[in-house]
Amino acid sequence: MDHEPLIIRRALDGDEGALRALWTRHAPHIDMVVRRLVGGDVDLAADIAQEVWIQIFRALPSYRGDSQFGTWAHRIAVNRTLNALRKTRRLASIETEVQEDSASVEPDHERTFVAQSIEAAAAKLSPGACAVFMLHDVEGYTHEEIAQELGITAGGSKSQLFKARAKLRKLLAHLVDVKDISISGKESLHVTSTERVAPVY
Amino acid sequence: MSHPPNVSHLSTERLAALSDESPNAAELAHLATCAECARERAVYQNLLELASSESARLGAPLTSWERLAPALVADGVIDNGRPLPAVSRARRGRSGWMQAAAAVLLVGGGVVAGRYTAGAAVLPTSAATARPAVNDSVPHFASVEEARAAQVQSQLTFQTATAFLAQRDTNAAVSETPATIRTRLATLDQVREVVGKALNDAPYDPVINGYYLTTVGQREATLRQLNTALPAGMRLTSY
């Protein structure tokens, strides 16, 4: 049973407990979205996340309940983060950044030092390529939505995504490589990911 | 190489695209005979699955309520009873919580008025008020509003202290295994369900609201604690 609408109504009246309840419930996801889009700069991500939450609560009176609060807040987080990154010029010249970025990959001996998560590997991409990859493959945005958010074409978004994937494929080889495959009609995939997944509790 | 010599391999970008796009007839024919390209396609599909699973991953929070709350107070979003900027007040509707608070004041006022009109003293003159303070730290309230503000503040203090201890009290953390945290989580879920049902019957009851918010807050804090207490390589996929 979800009583979030009641909490939101209290939050609209400025009740700190309700505002905090919303923050507590959604911060793990919202902060994670910001962290992914910003990349490795944790201080910058923390500053942007702070701005994001202020913006979410400022905009609360405009929340109509047409979608889940989390979905609505997520959209604000993406918009606000991309705007903040634009201000810091981290998304400038997206097209050329991706081109240059895809041209070079760390040599093998450095690859062992690449952190073992997508978040860390994506931080090796240019900010623009990281944003396209995170928005499409992680957050589930369409190329049309990404194009709108980033001010590029849908085709440009696709092109950048495939280049970003190509680089991540090398950076995350230890997680995604396939050992054997049969081409006799049926593919036998062997996912080499060692990460176990825990239930909620 | 198991593919016909006159057919070139698929490009890296095309293989990356094929993780979520369908191959055309020529590409399909090539993939059926070229183990190298078929393997690369599978690798990209693994990458896509890995990325999809990333969306459910939770990390250490970037924000803290202790840092966020002052900014929200300054912005007029949090109303702690202090005068708010006109714009902030104007954009808020006077909804249930304020009505509930008003109702509490009305009821309190009604009791006071009732006692007055019945000829009784406005405030009880029993031993309760004549009794000397047992402990100087026990607060005394001059009004319902003051008591209510103290109640809200106490609740916030409790929640903040609990969250702080969950993150910083290393002595307590030693004895808290993932199993004990899971037990707490399951208990909080039960409490949330019970209080949630009560909230349906009395949506504006301040006590029930307080319990509900505390339970929700504690549950989320416990989830975060569990996420950090899990062994390396394990993680929560949802919360």
What value of ipTM does the predicted structure carry?
0.72
* Amino acid B18: pLDDT: 92
Mutate which of B3, B11, B41, B50 to test chain A, going by most A C-beta atoms within 10 A?
Answer: B50
pLDDT exceeds 90 at position A161: yes
Rounded mean pLDDT, A180-197:
47
Q: Which amino acid is at B20?
A: D
pLDDT confidence band for A179 (50 / 70 / 90): confident
Q: Rounded to two decimals, what is the model's pTM?
A: 0.56
* Amino acid A173: pLDDT: 87
- For B211, what's the count of Cα atoms within 13 Å in the CB-facing half-sphere? 18
Residues B95-107: pLDDT tens digits? 444 444 333 333 3
Residues A55-95: pLDDT tens digits? 999 999 999 888 899 999 999 999 999 999 888 766 555 54
**Structure-token pair, residue A106:** 């760390």
Which chain A residues are within 8 Å of B92, Cβ to Cβ? Answer: 12-14, 61
The conformation of residue B237, written as its DSSP 8-state character, comes to S
Q: What is the dihedral of CA B183, B187, B192, B197, to 10 degrees?
A: 140
Listed residue (A87, A91, A120, A88) closest to A106, CA to CA: A120
Q: Looking at the partner chain, which of B209, B220, B230 has a beta carbon nearest the beta carbon of A198?
A: B230
Which chain B residues are within 8 Å of A159, Cβ to Cβ? Answer: 13
Q: Which residues, at least 6 apart from A164, have a Cβ–Cβ distance to it below 8 Å?
A: A98, A102, A122, A125, A129, A130, A132, A133
Return the residue of A nearest to B65 by Cα: A20
Q: What is the rounded distance in angstroms from the CA atom of residue A46 to the CA atom of residue A43?
A: 5
- Per-residue buried b or exposed e for B221-232, using 16+ beta carbons within 10 Å of the residue's own CB: bbbbbbbebeee
Per the CB < 8 A criterion, the answer to whether A45 and A16 are in contact is: no
Return the residue of A nearest to B210 by Cα: A17
Q: What is the rounded distance in angstroms from the CA atom of residue A170 to the CA atom of residue A173?
A: 5
Q: Which residue has the higher pLDDT, A148 or A198?
A: A148
Which chain B residues are within 8 Å of A192, Cβ to Cβ? Answer: 46
- Using CA atoms, how far residue B175 sits from A21, A99, B160, B169, in Å, is 27, 52, 21, 11
A174/B contact by beta carbon, under 8 A:
no
**Structure-token pair, residue B74:** 């300054």
Listed residue (B188, B165, B181, B164) closest to B228, CA to CA: B181
Per the CB < 8 A criterion, the answer to whether A120 and A114 are in contact is: yes
End-to-end alpha-carbon separation of chain B, Å? Answer: 47
Q: Which residues, at least 6 apart from B61, have a Cβ–Cβ distance to it below 8 Å?
A: A27, A28, A31, B224
* C-alpha torsion sign, points A40, A41, A44, A46: positive
Flag residues of chain B having pLDDT under 70: 1-7, 80-138, 152, 155-156, 159-160, 162-175, 204, 227-239
Rounded mean pLDDT, A134-140:
92
pLDDT exceeds 80 at position A162: yes
Mutate which of A71, A162, A167, A187 to test chain B, going by most B C-beta atoms within 10 A?
Answer: A162
Mutate which of B39, B45, B47 to test chain A, going by most A C-beta atoms within 10 A?
Answer: B47
Q: What is the rounded distance in angstroms from the CA atom of residue A163 to the CA atom of residue A142?
A: 17
3-state secondary structure B95-163: CHHHHHHHHHHHHHHHHHHHHHHCCCCCCCCCHHHHCCCCCCCCCCCCCHHHHHHHHHHHHHHHHHHHH
pLDDT confidence band for A191 (50 / 70 / 90): very low
pLDDT exceeds 90 at position A164: yes
Q: What is the rounded distance in angstroms from the CA atom of residue A60 to the CA atom of residue A159?
A: 36
How many C-beta atoms lie closer than 10 Å to residue B56's C-beta? Answer: 15
DSSP string, B46-90: HHHHHHHHHTT-----S--HHHHHHHHHHHT-S-SSS---HHHHH
Q: Which residues, at least 6 apart from B143, have a Cβ–Cβ distance to it below 8 Å?
A: none
Per the CB < 8 A criterion, the answer to whether A176 and B43 are in contact is: yes
| A196 backbone dihedrals φ, ψ, rounded to 5° | -95, 155
Q: What is the mean pLDDT of chain A?
A: 78
Residues A94-109: pLDDT tens digits? 544 444 444 344 444 3
Identify the weakest region by mean pLDDT among A48-57, A130-139, A168-177, B94-103.
Answer: B94-103
Q: Taking CB atoms and an 8 Å limit, are B97 and A10 in contact across chains? A: yes
Per the CB < 8 A criterion, the answer to whether A200 and B238 are in contact is: yes
* Amino acid B83: pLDDT: 41
Q: Is B177 left (phi over 0), alpha (psi -120 to 50) or beta?
A: beta
* Amino acid B97: pLDDT: 42
* C-alpha torsion sign, points A5, A7, A10, A12: negative
Listed residue (A65, A78, A1) closest to A37, CA to CA: A78
The conformation of residue A107, written as its DSSP 8-state character, comes to -
A31/B contact by beta carbon, under 8 A:
yes
* Amino acid B189: pLDDT: 86
* Amino acid A47: pLDDT: 94
